[in-house]
Structure 1
């Protein structure tokens, strides 16, 4: 294909040429007015001069026609694997590929839409944009999309230069039921109701047999499940009470409905962090001593603790007859604290408390019962613990983990963690800890100067002092916990004596262990998921010397055994990569952990019923169409731009008739000297004619 055109390469700018042309026109008009015989020749000379300045050339172009491009995009996301959508896509893909290839002067371009990474859903807009950007827009004659019409990035859809035809998979009778979690809190207060809003929705051609009721199964941390009938299409508020601190995994599942597209969206998992609504602590200080404020400062510095602190400043033996109304002291509300409201406290601390008749035996009986019901008591013992005024002599002694021998050991000693203490979360990993007695190494802790000798320890001795005597003993009593610290000299660390030590951290751990904080449990199974990946660090904390492999139950029910390696005393761990997203169960001995990787159901299954609603604006703007493949694969035709591009049983692409220029040749209309010759000849002829006229006129 050849093309011929005239192009100009002026020696002066076009405005200058226009000015010269205007000047020539004025001179020519003057010549006509004066009646000069050579005006025509002079006008021809002006034109020749302007033509020479414009330098006209004849341009010869050799052009080659280019083929049209038709984009054929097939959706292979997860929702396309439902029902027979994959077979529909394969059949249409084969027939249309052959039809496009058979069109004259037409090329086929293929693109596939995969599953989006990290549960991003169908990224159809991104694939269309990338595919279109790789091709010359002027050659694109049409886009054919084989898909269910569901996409999750409509904002990425590009403007199309040609018709878009959606050949929709699926069937008109498809329907589905799904469970939707509308709102769920990230944390909940223990013992208080936590509300989760959810809804059961039906979509598509729902049959009457599906009914308006569904059965919902709920379980927390894999415990015994409970069934509830729920109304389809109605917003529901489900109140739950969290029973333990830390992560609570709530799993919801609907009974599958016969005939629905998929049951992958019939379940949901919500992870709620259980927290205490400010820990209630009762601190009872006995005889004033140098470290009395240690416990108070510790607990007051914790924003999550509400502290009630009473100090016995006026014991019975100091009564002097002064009327109570004249004393600037607050009466100790013993009955209210130890009978009426005792269960409101998470922890009771006795700091150097001596039994001097202030609290009757019945109150100590109630404190013991409070611990056995799930409460906690911590005793920080001073010299009075070794006397007849010791708490050991009260009914509370039945649950104390060790008894005093009656000796007070006044000697400088270095507190050390025991072999058991190196594995116990209360004392493991304390900064600057010295090694157990008999092992090499040095610590950075200062010494204490007093210890109450204990014997008959029946709990966990995690620290020792003078002569390997128990210093810190932890134990359980019924459902509660008891801690006994056989010294009142922890405050020396706070004062920096001989370098000090981690006094605040140790006392905080003791208190929080007694209050059953999950991070300080001796036997624990933890799973930490790396953000944005399927890698999980599984940690087993135990007081044993070894840990059995963790049994991992996958979402499909298969079980995998994962061995653990010791990373420090009492702590075993392994890095594990899950094969896919979903709900996993971890089991180790009697411990169970529920772990959620990604959503319980993929984003692809949120709305699985096929629909072209999201693509309708782009289809209309491009002049394309939407066709259901269950009605048959349409024929393919070529139609002129601006014509209707679809009809009953057919779809069309618009030939673009684009060409590529392969060669350009320029030939000057006249060489420069020829233009000058024309100008000179015309001016000379005009001069001669006008000269003869003047000579012929009478003088």
Structure 2
């Protein structure tokens, strides 16, 4: 039980002070006038002032409360390197036994796991949450068992007691780390782009080692190995092989004695784009839809278009001297022999043999297709004639044979079941019924995929792959009717845009493809195919674990599934003959960026709270009591501050001057002063 005197004035303090001043003046005047009762007058004033101040005796019954010590145990991924987990566990058990054996002390053991979404070690966040649940007045100290690599070390935490860090790890620990310092989000296909890497040896690395091996692989291709220096910025030129997403993986072989190989790899995902799409459009003769292809290709800012229209064929004899013509001669040799490889796509719009392109040039175009080029034939009546392109060396790569019939009747273009699965014609927009076309060239498909049909299900649009290249045949020259809005029109621009971009190998329009997009550690996998079903999907994780999943059909020709990766890293996907790779998060999680134990990240927190940073290799430190505000760590010991906290069980308040006593004393003193001054 403790006692103290408290005051509860009956009047405001300023008024009480005013009364005291008036009483003091009265006593001084009595003294100056020589009144012999001035002492009794003063005592009477003091009694009145004391009564007005309301003095009371406050008595409290208190129960002492125990001190609380918070023990943080770091169990993040970096703490599982080497023997750090055993070091930490043994030290935690030893400290727990010592603290629990202390008089009037409680222990709170807090486990700190890996942070969500690769946030790293959130040590200070865990401490802040623990402090929020405990009374500040009872916190005697905080002890953190960690490797020091806290990724929220800058988080301000108001700890009312010493903060100590006990480091795991060993002086001889070392690690090799690969870091990507600079990589663009996209690059132009076929042109080198420079990436900046750096390889560092951290900690007590072996002396004299200045070089190491670096493996580089793109997508699922075999890796190429190079010898590179350590401790220098490396500028590496990389050339992307294809459009769309390219996954580039850099990796180092694991060195003997290093802590981990989890930071020996880095994954970069870059989009390959074409600088400019170069298209050659050759119009055989003017017709109503002659500007359709030109307008479509000119509307795309990424397309460089070279367009030739044959306005005056060689057989035309009108008597005009050649040197007086304003028309440009067709540079056939330059286009189809010398610079043909510069073009990504060649379009023949209603072209027929007229002696302009010799067989040698057309054979060169066929070889251009087999080597990876693309040719689109937009056929009119000329394709069914004796002068058809099919009756040239180019006919060897055309996927359909003309029957010499031109069908002149209205019909509605139809997308068959195969076309519903092909990206070129899948889901073409429909605003009601499409308008009809009025002419079709009768052909028989000999290869490839028929993705649109016309009269009596005859092939209308046939797509084929020849060698490394692509060929398309549109067996009608009436697609322009859709653009003019005939009978409501149709998706002419969308169809021709998709067709042109499929011919140029755009990844989004590949009919056989396996792709994946990642959000956090969840990936959405999509398989595009012309088949009605697909085999199970095989996923190989960073640690070699193989998972098999079933793909569900989301739309004709498109199968999907969702997979959540158990860990961050590079995943390899396989489905039939299609393969793909995708990286979930960084190849090296944040926990493995810095793996050497160090108290530096937490140094400011330790210093501001007068704690200490010791290593567990020197043994578990002793625990001492220290006064608040004093240094709380030394060689082989750490200190805790006794808080002497208590709980108040009961409070009693007793007035020291009851009313009757004040009345009696004041009346007696005033009477005594009056008698003294009256000489009685």
Instruction: Provide TM-score, normalisation by structure 1.
Output: 0.93
The answer to whether structure 1 residue 571 and structure 2 residue 558 are counterparts is: yes
1:237 matched to 2:226? The reply is: no
* Aligned twin of 1:172: 171
Q: 2-side partners of 1:359 and 1:371: how far apart?
A: 17
Correspondent of 1:401 among 389, 399, 402: 399
Distance between the aligned counterparts of 2:607 and 2:300, measured in 1? Answer: 63
Q: Deviations over 1:12-60 (max 9, x none)?
A: 2111111121122222222222222222222222222222222211212
1:555, CA displacement in angstroms?
2.0
Tell me the SS of whatever aligns to 1:420: helix
What is the CA–CA distance in structure 1 between the aligned matches of 2:647 and 2:448, rounded to whole Å? 91
Residues 1:638 and 2:625 aligned together: yes
The 3 A distance-change label for structure 1 pair 457 and 137 is same
Matching residue of 2:152: 153
In structure 2, the residue matched to 1:439 is none
Distance in 2, matches of 1:538 and 1:651, equals 54
1:329-348 map, 5 Å: 329-348=327-346
CA positional deviation for 1:527: 1.9
Contact 2:246 2:270 in 1 (8 A): yes
Give the 5 Å matches for 1:258-407. Answer: 258-318=256-316, 320-322=318-320, 329-407=327-405
Aligned mates of 1:336, 1:28 — CA distance in 2: 126
Say which of 520, 523, 526 aligns to 1:532: 520
Offset of 1:325 from its aligned partner? 6.7
Query: How far does residue 604 in structure 1 lie from its aligned partner after superposition?
Result: 1.0
> What are the superposed Cα offsets for residues 611-654 of structure 1, whole Å, 9 maximum, x if unpaired?
11111111111111111111211222222234442233222211
User: Greater CA deviation, 449-458 or 313-322?
Assistant: 313-322
**Alignment pair present for 1:139 and 2:128:** no
TM-superposition CA deviations, 1:470-491 (whole Å, max 9, x none): 1111112221111110111111
* Worse-superposed segment, 179-188 or 359-368: 359-368
Is 1:47 the counterpart of 2:46? The answer is yes
Gaps of 5+ in 2: none
Q: CA deviation at 1:93?
A: 1.0
Task: Say whether residues 1:475 and 2:464 are aligned partners.
Answer: yes
Q: Deviations over 1:341-395 (max 9, x none)?
A: 2211111112222333333333323222221211111111122222233222333
Q: Is 1:511 aligned with 2:509? A: no
- 2:521, 2:566 within 8 Å by CA — same for their partners in 1? no
Contact 2:123–2:152 under 8 Å retained in 1 = yes
Q: For the residues of structure 2 that align with 1:253 and 1:382, how far apart are their CA atoms?
A: 56
- How does 1:211-226 map onto structure 2 within 5 Å? 211-226=209-224
Moved more, 683-692 or 6-15: 683-692
In 2: Cα distance, 1:14 partner to 1:537 partner: 74
What is aligned with 1:436?
none
Task: Indicate the residue corresponding to 1:440 in structure 2.
Answer: none
CA contact (8 A) 1:128 1:157 kept: no
1:150 Cα offset (Å): 0.9
1:492: which partner in 2? 481
Q: How far apart are the structure 1 equivalents of 2:504 and 2:672?
A: 122
- Equivalent-residue separation in structure 1 for 2:611 and 2:150 (angstroms): 18
**Contact 2:521–2:567 (CA under 8 A) maintained in structure 1:** no
Instruction: Find the residue that maps to 2:154 and give its secondary structure.
Output: helix
2:600 aligned with 1:602:
no
Match of 1:546 in 2: 533
Greater displacement, 79-88 / 400-409: 400-409
Paired residues of 1:126 and 1:157 also in contact (CA < 8 A): no
CA shift for structure 1 position 243: 0.9
Residues 657-696 of structure 1: pairs in structure 2 closer than 5 A: 657-692=644-679
Quote the residue 1:696 is aligned against. Answer: none
Query: Per-residue deviation at 1:557?
Result: 2.1
How far the C-alpha of 1:251 sits from its partner, in A, is 1.4
Q: TM-score, normalised by structure 2?
A: 0.96
Give the gaps of 5 or more residues in structure 1: 434-442, 694-699
Note if contact 2:445-2:459 (Cα within 8 Å) is conserved in structure 1: no
Q: How far apart in 2 are the matches of 1:481 and 1:466?
A: 25
Please state if 1:647 is matched with 2:645: no
1:635-679 deviation per Cα after TM superposition (whole angstroms, max 9, x unaligned): 222222344422332222111222332222111111224323333
| Counterparts in 2 of 1:675 and 1:321: CA distance versus 1, 3 Å | farther
Partner Cα distance (2:339, 2:410) in 1: 41
Secondary structure in 2 matching 1:16: helix
- Aligned counterparts of 2:610 and 2:623: Cα–Cα separation in 1: 15
Over 3 Å counting, the alpha-carbon distance change for 1:676 and 1:477 in structure 2 is: same
Distance across 2 between alignment mates of 1:605 and 1:320: 81
Distance in 2 between the 1:459 and 1:62 partners? 96
1:11 positional shift: 1.9
Partner of residue 557, structure 1: 544
In the alignment, is residue 523 of structure 1 matched against residue 521 of structure 2?
no
Asked if 1:449 corresponds to 2:426, the answer is: no
Deviations 1:424-446 (A, max 9, x none): 2211222339xxxxxxxxx7211
